[in-house]
Amino acid sequence: MNEPNVFTAKQVGERVKERRTELNLSMGDLGKRLGVNKSTIQRYESKGVDPEKRYLVISLADALLTTPEWLTGLSEEKEYDGYTKSKMQLDEHLESFLKEMDSVVESENYQQFLAGHLCNIIDLYSVYAVHFARAMKKADEVATDEGLKESLIRYAIESGVIVEQVYQKEMEPIIEDLKRYMDGLLHIYDKGKGGNLISEMFRLPDDARDRLNGNND
């Protein structure tokens, strides 16, 4: 199978126009998103955009809600998949966190302290994601079970009530873990508790994962 070739500058310009039209944006609208004037957009579309100018291509892709790969002909997928969108969102927030931490927290030890606890919270949240997926699967099964719906109607019970109970039952343990962790951050320097509390907090993600895996057996 042949690898796709990078577009010429003219072809990139044509895709810029295609996507702008598809989004019902005027040249002026797109120019505002990029911080340039209408004539610059007109030039991009008529004379083209050098695909080697990565910063410009990425800026255009962001403004047009598409991917640099689509603009330059390396992909026919106009939009990022869910995984890529999530990764971009996380990268943006993590970069913001690191910049702010570096600017306000002078001690390297404190920086490591904050980064370490954020990693633990992310680990706990990854377990939360599995519980969430499982809860939604169970809730969907209840919501689409016609036999159950008929039984509930006889007792004047709405299926939404059952869905809520299914969701809460599945999510309660991991939510309690997250609460315990955040409460631990507040009390981490309580007299006489610090060392044991930190150990307990750092065990929480592993304990939550073990419990989850145990429930899958």
Q: DSSP string covering 12-41, please?
A: HHHHHHHHHHHTT--HHHHHHHHT--HHHH
Average pLDDT over residues 94-113: 95
User: For the whole model, what pTM was predicted?
Assistant: 0.68
Shortest CA distance to 54 belongs to which of 40, 65, 67, 37? Answer: 67
Shortest CA distance to 205 belongs to which of 120, 133, 130, 128? Answer: 120
Pick the CATH number of 9-71 from 1.10.260.40, 3.40.50.2000, 3.40.190.150, 3.20.20.480: 1.10.260.40
pLDDT band at 217 (very low <50, low <70, confident <90, very high): very low
Angle between helical axes of 27-34 and 54-63 (0-180°, round to 10): 120
Ranges 99-103, 114-118, 150-154, 206-210: which has the least confidence: 150-154
CA–CA separation, 49 and 8 (whole Å): 8
Residue 36 has pLDDT above 90, yes or no: yes
The segment(s) of the chain belonging to CATH 1.10.260.40 are 9-71
Ranges 40-44, 89-93, 117-121, 148-152: which has the least confidence: 148-152
